[in-house]
């Protein structure tokens, strides 16, 4: 049971601050500020507050400011407030009444570019090596 992920069950009401969680599943009524890896807000859940996450899967009601690398809004989701994302998936039926911001991160873009450069260098090296072998 010790490896089980944290969850707020349906019918439960929570208010407070949660830190250190890697993953959290919410099926109840929660008012909190959370900094987390993965958060799942279930179909019958109601969440109010700020979220910072790598991945947020929303199927219930969300009110607040959310910043996540990846956001998935399922067909039953209801969102108000603001969402900031790098990658967003929205299913048909998802209801948004909020500000939606694509979170352009310059440093991230640069690092991605330099990675692609490295790859090109590697390939050309490989080609050269192949050529040498062929000769």
Partner 1 sequence: MSEITYISKEVSVVEGVLTAEDSKVVVAGSFSGNINANEVILEEGSKFEGEVDARIIVIEGDLKGKVKSYQLKVSHTARVDGELLTNSIEVASGAEIAGSISRVS
The maximal CA–CA distance of the chain, rounded, in angstroms, is 73
**Residues 53 to 112 in contact with partner 1, rule: CB under 8 A:** none
- Least CB distance to partner 1 at residue 107 (A): 28
* Contact of 48 with 63, CB cutoff 8 Å: yes
Binding segment toward partner 1, per CB under 8 A, in 16-24, 47-55, 56-64, 76-84: 16-24
**CB neighbour list of residue 117: distance below 8 Å, 6 or more residues apart:** none
DSSP state of 5: P
Binding segment toward partner 1, per CB under 8 A, in 13-21, 50-58, 70-78, 86-94: 13-21
Q: Name the residues that contact partner 1, by CB under 8 A.
A: 1-22, 24, 27-28, 42
């Amino acid at each position: 049971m010790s490896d089980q992920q944290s969850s707020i069950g349906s019918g439960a009401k929570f208010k407070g601050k949660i830190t250190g969680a890697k993953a959290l599943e919410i099926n109840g009524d929660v008012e909190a500020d959370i900094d987390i890896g993965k958060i799942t807000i279930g179909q019958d859940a109601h969440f109010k507050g700020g979220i910072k996450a790598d991945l947020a899967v929303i199927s219930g009601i969300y009110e607040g400011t959310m910043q996540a690398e990846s956001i998935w809004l399922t067909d039953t989701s209801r969102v108000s407030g603001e969402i900031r994302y790098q990658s967003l998936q929205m299913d048909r039926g998802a209801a948004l009444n909020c500000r939606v911001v694509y979170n352009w991160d310059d440093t991230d873009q640069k690092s991605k570019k330099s990675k692609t450069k490295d790859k090109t260098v590697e390939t050309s090296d490989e080609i050269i090596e192949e050529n040498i072998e062929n000769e």
